[in-house]
C-alpha cells in the first residue's frame, strides 16, 4: 500500500509541478505589473484547484488500467484485479484532494495579495 501511495503522490506532484511552472512563468511575464501578475496567478491557481477537484470527482469511475499510476506501478506492487479499481482510484482521489486543498490555500493567498496590491498601487 505504501508503494501505491508513493506512486500516486509522484504522479499528482508531477502534474501539479508542470502546472505550477506554467503559472509561475505567466506571473514572471507579467511582473511589470505586480497587481496583474498576482491576479493572473490567483485565477490560474483557482483553475488548478477546480481541475484537481474534477479529477478527484471522476477518479472512482475511471478505469484503473488507463491511469499513469497503474503503468508506473511495479508488477509486484499491483493489487489483484478485483481490488485494483477500488484501491488505486481511492488513493488517487485522496491525493488529488490533498493537493487541491494545498493549492487552494496558495490561491487564496494570491487573491489576498492581489487585492492588497491593487488597492496600494
- Cα distances (Å, whole numbers) of residue 115 to 37, 41, 54, 97: 12, 12, 27, 27
Write down the residue that cell numbers 488507463 correspond to.
66
pLDDT, tens only, 66-110: 999 999 998 888 998 889 999 999 999 999 999 999 999 999 999
pLDDT at 81: 83
Mean pLDDT of 11-29: 97
Among 79, 101, 89, which Cα is nearest to 11's? 89
Task: Calculate what percentage of the chain has a pLDDT beyond 90.
Answer: 83
Amino acid at each position: 500500500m505504501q508503494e501505491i501511495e508513493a506512486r500516486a503522490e509522484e504522479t499528482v506532484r508531477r502534474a501539479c509541478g508542470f502546472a505550477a511552472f506554467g503559472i509561475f512563468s505567466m506571473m514572471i511575464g507579467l511582473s511589470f505589473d505586480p497587481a496583474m501578475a498576482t491576479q493572473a496567478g490567483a485565477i490560474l491557481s483557482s483553475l488548478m484547484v477546480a481541475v484537481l477537484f474534477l479529477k478527484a470527482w471522476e477518479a472512482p469511475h475511471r478505469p484503473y488500467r488507463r491511469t499513469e499510476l497503474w503503468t508506473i506501478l511495479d508488477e509486484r506492487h499491483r493489487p489483484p484485479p478485483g481490488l485494483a479499481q477500488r484501491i488505486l482510484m481511492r488513493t488517487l482521489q485522496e491525493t488529488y484532494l490533498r493537493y487541491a486543498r494545498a493549492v487552494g490555500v496558495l490561491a487564496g493567498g494570491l487573491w489576498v495579495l492581489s487585492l492588497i496590491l491593487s488597492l496600494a498601487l
